[in-house]
Amino acid sequence: MKNYERIFSDSRFQTDLWNTLYFTIFFIFGCLFLGIILAILVDSKVKGAGIFQNFFLFPMALAFVVTGTVWSWIFAPGILPENPEGINLLFNSIGLSGLEWKWYTSTDSFINFNFALIPVIIGAVWQMAGYTMAMYLAGLRGIPSTFTEAAMVDGASGWQIFWKIKFPILKPITFSAMIILAHISLKIFDLVYAMTGSGPNNVTDVPSIYMWETTFRANKYARGSAIAIIMLLLVAIFIVPYLVSSFKSNKRA
Amino acid sequence: MAKKKGKKIIVYILLTVFLVGFLLPIYVLLATSFKPFDEVGKPLMWNWPSSLSFDGFAKAFDKLKGNLINSFILVIPATFVSAMVGSINGYVLSKLKFRGSNALFAIILFGMFIPYQSILFPMITFLQNIGLYGSIGGLILVHIIYGLPITTLIFRNYYAEVPTELIEAANIDGAGIFKSYWKVLFPISLPGFVVVIIWQFTNIWNEFLFAVTVTSDPTKQPITVALVNLAGSQVVEWNVQMAGAIITALPTLLVYIFLGKYFLRGLLAGSVKG
């Protein structure tokens, strides 16, 4: 138990937990929001929608280390203000130099939310939004067209059809997506490792990186194992009720 | 009608805006990888290379070719064995219902969600004990075992749609458990195998944490680990780095481009439980 006491009073681990919390929240909402918008757009059946769909989904086929490498360069801030790099340079050249900031090297924070996480969240949402879209699309395409046709005959507008008919049907999908994204977020390692590492003052540190470094770089096995067990418990809190509920609903059906 | 047309245009505009956002990193990746080193410098980052240079690719390929081969040596056996075992598991769990088979399936599924980190340390100890630590063989073993939940899930759902009468008829004809799998189920499993193999290939290829933990010798590391280590030197040669990223991404990207439909099925199988 001493290991656990020590780990929870460790300032680095506390930072990790805050980082994980904020990362998870923004990552999940970013993916859900973007995912449902993309799904609706692709489902609107305009010509060529399938091609767009393929492009939105392709980041899923890439390794997190590949995307981490690319994003780490895009968000490399350079030396401000005289020597902007990456996306700062792009902002600078199109006259938006007000948007330049230190990205993942920033040590600013707001209620324990380290702003340096923002580029990492953008990279993660970029990679996983297509996946969320695919889940929503599967749901939207499973809605019988008789439902929406009947509503249209009754004079319902596009918005009404979406909110009154499609949205409730998509609820379980939203729930599944949240669980899956949460579990990805809790154990995220590759992307952060390839993109930023722990960052200055651990601003982009997450438990998986701490666990890995402390176990395999510093050889503190007990502490590493304690973090690993905490991670397992966090994931289990989300996953076990999810599995139980999906088994129950399956039996009913 | 005019309203409908207007709506269509808005949809296209939005789709295009998102497409640009999605392709931005790819533009950077391509533009940088084809640049000669003196153009990689900061002020030209967003420009398309003035002349196509393959220096980056030549250098990256030279550094990564051994690891590229390692990745294939790792991925091919791990994919096939985990698909095969998953197929047999799926058969047992869907067609040979026994007491506790559902509970067993739930436990196997939970395995899919266990964070890699929490088994890392016992896994290393185990691999050391059986003498496979640090080798690609050890990594193959780990990926076979870690792949079983998803391959089992996909095959179980796939076989659930096959009428049980087929198996029963084979049993009446005197076929045993294995024979009825081999003669009845296996020959119609091809679509399931395609989904599973593509899924496993992509996942194992892209995996990093197990790879970096199990293999510390650079000559034995798969390409994902080598790519991250490529940046280790003092001056990061971004053209080489980006070319390396493209080389790393190419096999899974090709699979996605040509077999995307099946990739999508594997993706959705992981979220829609049975």
B120 or A201, higher pLDDT = B120
Residue A175 lies in a domain: yes
The whole-number pLDDT of residue B42 equals 61
Residue type for position A233 = L
Q: Looking at chain B, which residue has its C-alpha nearest residue A190?
A: B208
User: Nearest by CB to B267, which of A60, A67, A90?
Assistant: A60
- For the record, the structure tokens of B121 come out as 């340390």
- For the record, the structure tokens of B155 come out as 């095959």
The whole-number pLDDT of residue B272 equals 47
Residue ranges making up the domain that contains A148: 17-196
The whole-number pLDDT of residue B2 equals 61
User: Nearest by CB to A62, which of B231, B242, B252?
Assistant: B252
pLDDT > 70? residue B206? yes
The whole-number pLDDT of residue A26 equals 93
**What average pLDDT score do residues B104-109 get?**
85
Q: Which residues of chain A have pLDDT under 50?
A: 252-253
pLDDT > 90? residue B69? yes
Local confidence band at B274 (pLDDT 50, 70, 90 cut-offs): very low
CA distance A51 to A56: 9
The H or E element containing residue B182 is none
CA distance B247 to B239: 12
Tell which residue, B80, B73, B272, B71, has the closest CA to residue B193. Answer: B80
What string of DSSP letters covers B115-174? -HHHHHHHHHHHHHHTT-TTSHHHHHHHHHHHHHHHHHHHHHHHHHTS-HHHHHHHHHTT
Residue A207 lies in a domain: no
Local confidence band at B1 (pLDDT 50, 70, 90 cut-offs): low
Enumerate residues 201 to 230 of chain A having a beta carbon within 8 A of any beta carbon in chain B. 207-208, 211-212, 215-216, 221, 224-225, 227-229
Report how many domains make up chain A: 1
Is the distance from CB of A44 to CB of B10 less than 8 angstroms? no
Paired sense of beta strands A113-114 and A109-110, if any: antiparallel
3-class DSSP string for chain A:
CHHHHHHHCCHHHHHHHHHHHHHHHHHHHHHHHHHHHHHHHHHCCCCCHHHHHHHHHHHHHCCHHHHHHHHHHHCCCEECCCEECHHHHHHHHCCCHHHCCCHHHCCCEECCEECCHHHHHHHHHHHHHHHHHHHHHHHHHCCCHHHHHHHHHCCCCHHHHHHHHHHHHHHHHHHHHHHHHHHHHHCCCHHHHHHCCCCHHHCCCCHHHHHHHHHHCCCCHHHHHHHHHHHHHHHHHHHHHHHHHHHHHHHHC
Size of interface A-B (CB pairs under 8 A): 188
CA distance readout (Å), B123 to A136, B131, B150, B177, B178: 36, 12, 19, 33, 32
pLDDT > 90? residue B76? yes
Residue A223 lies in a domain: no
Q: Do B43 and A232 lie within an 8 Å CB cutoff? A: no
pLDDT > 70? residue B233? no
pLDDT in tens, B23-61: 988 888 888 888 887 777 666 777 788 778 888 888 889
Residue B19 CB partners (closer than 8 Å, separation 6+): A52, A55, A56
3-class DSSP string for B189-252:
CHHHHHHHHHHHHHHHHHCCHHHHHHCCCHHHCCHHHHHHHHCCCCCCCHHHHHHHHHHHHHHH
Residue A109 lies in a domain: yes
Beta bridge partners of A10: none
Contacts with B107 from chain A: Cβ below 8 Å: none
Residue A224 lies in a domain: no
The whole-number pLDDT of residue B273 equals 41
Contacts with B205 from chain A: Cβ below 8 Å: 63
The whole-number pLDDT of residue B270 equals 63
CA distance A53 to A57: 6
Residue A249 lies in a domain: no
Is the distance from CB of B28 to CB of B242 less than 8 angstroms? yes
Q: What is the signed CA dihedral for B12, B18, B22, B27, rounded to 10 degrees?
A: 70
Q: Tokens 């395409």, residue?
A: A141
The whole-number pLDDT of residue B48 equals 81
pLDDT > 50? residue B113? yes
pLDDT in tens, B78-93: 999 999 999 999 999 8
CA distance B78 to B200: 8
- pLDDT above 90 covers a percentage of chain B that reads 27
Residue A67 lies in a domain: yes
pLDDT > 70? residue B153? yes
Contacts with B270 from chain A: Cβ below 8 Å: 180
Domain with A77 in it: what CATH number? 1.10.3720.10
Mutation target vs B (from A3, A28, A65; most B CBs, 10 A cutoff)? A65
Local confidence band at B66 (pLDDT 50, 70, 90 cut-offs): very high
B68 touches chain A (CB under 8 A): no
- What is the predicted ipTM? 0.82
Contacts with A246 from chain B: Cβ below 8 Å: 273
Residue B195 CB partners (closer than 8 Å, separation 6+): B154, B158, B262, B265, B266, B269
> Quick check: helix, strand or coil at residue B176?
coil
- Cα A124–Cα B80–Cα A236 angle in degrees, nearest 5: 45
B254 touches chain A (CB under 8 A): no
Beta bridge partners of A84: A78
Residue A84 lies in a domain: yes
